[in-house]
């Protein structure tokens, strides 16, 4: 029988990665919670139509990458490729426009895209995602960007670069798209097949191409950011001014194209040079028309998502050693119950504690204490002893309460 393996493009989370991921979850909770964002969850699968309408029919995600299946009732369902469309669906479904605005939410969980797997690109991956619904304010754009920057920095992500742009409103984009289409048609002969096929559906994607001829053509193409409406241009200036005030560096990059259709006005992406081809750590932007497009009241929206696996790939080092345990060694088999009780008491006192549970010799137990990086070992013998693993100092103690006093919580 062939050996069973995790499906292509998926992975198991093994120690010590599990702890690094949980710590990142905590970090996100701290940073976003402090800014008034509330945690929420939505289902892992949704009606296929939500993504087709929300993410956009012409995107790679909808055309090629969705895990779509039929349920037993013949409904077409899709494993969520991203969170934003579902957040908007939930906002409308639960009448959140009646709440005090803006509504600030964040979530964390698995997402699915049928892409060719490579380093940093998986078919099941994890995102932390933040969304703000119901505010036009440029301060929301700046706040969201700064919060992601803070999470990346505190997570230890190195070599980051922030690319920033504005796509204007749907209307200025439409006018610009017509201008760009005309330009692309003039140079059709030099463009890649893929770009040529999408001139009608999504001409902006031409900026994203790796194809040499296309790149040459795009260097002289008309640029949207120079054709923004005065309102949009002012909005963008304000976002930049707030980022400048906060001392966050960014590059205005008019070639920034996001792989989803719903964006308006501000778009941004954090990249890390620690990553290979898949450099995008996190990104997002405004989507002022999406909720209306999904059948809700006209409501501005804005948000980002960052890939947990990419954050951890781009972050230096393993988990910080902030939880070195106390190890409980058992000198004689007859004392196992005492050792078990000491472990319980230390844990109840808030101390991370690991217990000998593999029948090791005394020597083997000290080796194990070293292996797990224990800061102290309690030796349960005829007497109770406490050994400081850093200084090697050993002393007799009366009980678990004294150990707690000595090692602190």
Using rule CB under 6 A, residue 59 touches ligand HAM: no
Q: For residues 63 and 81, what is the distance between their CA atoms, to the nearest angstrom?
A: 12
Residue with tokens 């006209």: 298
At residue 363, φ and ψ (nearest 5 deg) are: -60, -45
Using rule CB under 6 A, residue 305 touches ligand HAM: yes
Q: Which is nearer to ligand HAM, 260 or 374 (CB)?
A: 260
Scanning 72-80, 97-105, 304-312, 388-396 for contacts with ligand HAM by CB under 6 A, the matching segment is 304-312
Euclidean distance between the first and the last CA atom of the chain, given in angstroms as a whole number? 50
Coil, strand or helix: which one is 398? coil
Using rule CB under 6 A, residue 143 touches ligand HAM: no
Using rule CB under 6 A, residue 82 touches ligand HAM: yes
Task: Tell me how far, at minimum, the Cβ of 257 lies from ligand HAM, in Å.
Answer: 11
Q: Which is nearer to ligand HAM, 125 or 327 (CB)?
A: 125
Q: Which is nearer to ligand HAM, 203 or 282 (CB)?
A: 282
237-266 footprint of ligand HAM as x/- string (CB under 6 A): ----------------------xx------
Q: For residues 71 and 373, what is the distance between their CA atoms, to the nearest angstrom?
A: 49
Q: Centre a 10 Å sphere on the Cβ of residue 118 and count the other Cβ atoms it contains.
A: 11
Scanning 25-33, 161-169, 303-311, 373-381 for contacts with ligand HAM by CB under 6 A, the matching segment is 303-311
Using rule CB under 6 A, residue 134 touches ligand HAM: no
Q: Which is nearer to ligand HAM, 87 or 221 (CB)?
A: 87
Using rule CB under 6 A, residue 108 touches ligand HAM: no
Residue closest to ligand HAM (Cβ)? 307
Choose, by CB under 6 A, the member of 180, 303, 386, 387 that binds ligand HAM.
303
Nearest CA-CA partner of 351 in 385, 326, 319 = 326
Residues 111, 127 contacting (CB under 8 angstroms): yes
Task: Tell me how far, at minimum, the Cβ of 396 lies from ligand HAM, in Å.
Answer: 54
| Tokens found for residue 338 | 């005492």
Residues 328, 354 contacting (CB under 8 angstroms): yes
Q: For residues 299 and 92, what is the distance between their CA atoms, to the nearest angstrom?
A: 10
Using rule CB under 6 A, residue 306 touches ligand HAM: yes
Q: For residues 130 and 106, what is the distance between their CA atoms, to the nearest angstrom?
A: 4
Residues 272, 158 contacting (CB under 8 angstroms): yes
Positive or negative torsion for Cα 341, 345, 346, 352: positive
Q: Which is nearer to ligand HAM, 83 or 140 (CB)?
A: 83
Near ligand HAM in 309-328, by CB under 6 A: 309-310
Residues 120, 275 contacting (CB under 8 angstroms): yes
Task: Tell me how far, at minimum, the Cβ of 151 lies from ligand HAM, in Å.
Answer: 12
Using rule CB under 6 A, residue 151 touches ligand HAM: no
Choose, by CB under 6 A, the member of 53, 80, 89, 121 that binds ligand HAM.
121
Task: Report DSSP letters for 97-139, one per residue.
Answer: GGSSSSEEEEEEEEEE-----BTTB-SEEEEEEEEEES---HH
Nearest CA-CA partner of 41 in 86, 79, 85 = 86
Q: Which is nearer to ligand HAM, 282 or 325 (CB)?
A: 282
Classify residue 324 by its DSSP letter. Answer: P
Q: Which is nearer to ligand HAM, 32 or 403 (CB)?
A: 32
> What is the longest distance spanned by two Cα atoms in the chain?
90
How many residues in the shown chain lie near ligand HAM by CB under 6 A?
28
- Cα 326 to its chain centre, rounded Å, is 33
Q: Which is nearer to ligand HAM, 82 or 356 (CB)?
A: 82
Using rule CB under 6 A, residue 304 touches ligand HAM: yes
Nearest CA-CA partner of 244 in 168, 162, 166 = 162
Using rule CB under 6 A, residue 236 touches ligand HAM: no
Choose, by CB under 6 A, the member of 149, 242, 281, 315 that binds ligand HAM.
281
Using rule CB under 6 A, residue 307 touches ligand HAM: yes
Using rule CB under 6 A, residue 127 touches ligand HAM: yes
Q: Centre a 10 Å sphere on the Cβ of residue 375 and count the other Cβ atoms it contains.
A: 17
Enumerate binding residues for ligand HAM (CB under 6 A): 82-84, 113, 115, 120-122, 125, 127, 129, 131, 259-260, 280-285, 287, 303-307, 309-310
């Amino acid at each position: 029988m062939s050996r069973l393996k995790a499906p292509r493009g998926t992975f198991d989370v093994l120690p010590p990665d599990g702890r690094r991921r949980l710590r990142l979850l905590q970090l996100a909770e701290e940073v976003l919670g402090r800014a008034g964002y509330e945690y929420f969850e939505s289902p892992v699968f949704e009606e296929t139509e939500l993504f087709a309408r929300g993410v956009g029919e012409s995107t790679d995600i909808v055309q090629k990458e969705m895990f779509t299946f039929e349920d037993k009732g013949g409904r077409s369902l899709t494993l969520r490729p991203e969170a934003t469309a579902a957040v908007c669906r939930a906002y409308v479904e639960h009448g959140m426009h009646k709440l005090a605005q803006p509504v600030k939410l964040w979530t964390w969980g698995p997402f699915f895209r049928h892409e060719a797997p490579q380093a940093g690109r998986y078919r099941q991956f994890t995102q932390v995602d933040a969304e703000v619904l119901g505010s036009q304010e440029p301060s929301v754009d700046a706040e969201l960007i700064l919060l992601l920057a803070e999470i990346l920095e505190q997570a230890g992500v190195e070599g980051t670069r922030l690319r920033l742009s504005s796509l204007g409103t749907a209307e200025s984009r439409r006018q610009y798209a017509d201008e760009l289409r005309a330009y692309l048609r003039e140079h059709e002969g030099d463009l890649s097949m893929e770009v040529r096929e999408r001139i009608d559906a999504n001409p902006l994607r031409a900026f994203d191409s790796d194809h040499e001829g296309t790149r040459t053509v795009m260097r002289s193409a008309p640029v949207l950011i120079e054709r923004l409406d005065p309102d949009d241009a002012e909005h963008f200036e304000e976002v930049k001014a707030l980022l400048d005030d906060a001392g966050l560096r960014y590059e205005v990059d008019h070639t920034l194209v996001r792989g989803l259709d719903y964006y308006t006005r501000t778009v941004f992406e954090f990249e890390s040079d620690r990553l290979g081809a898949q450099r995008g750590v996190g990104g997002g932007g405004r989507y002022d028309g999406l909720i209306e497009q999904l059948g809700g009241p006209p409501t501005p929206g804005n948000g980002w998502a960052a890939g947990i696996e990419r954050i951890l790939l781009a972050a230096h080092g393993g988990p910080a050693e902030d939880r070195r345990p106390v190890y409980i060694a058992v000198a004689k088999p007859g004392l196992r119950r005492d050792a078990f009780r000491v472990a319980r008491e230390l844990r109840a006192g808030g101390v991370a504690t690991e217990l000998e549970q593999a029948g090791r010799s005394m020597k083997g137990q000290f080796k194990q204490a070293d292996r797990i990086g224990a800061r102290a070992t309690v030796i349960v013998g005829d007497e109770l002893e406490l050994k400081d693993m850093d200084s090697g100092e050993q002393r007799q103690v009366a009980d678990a309460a004294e150990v707690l006093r000595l090692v602190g919580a």
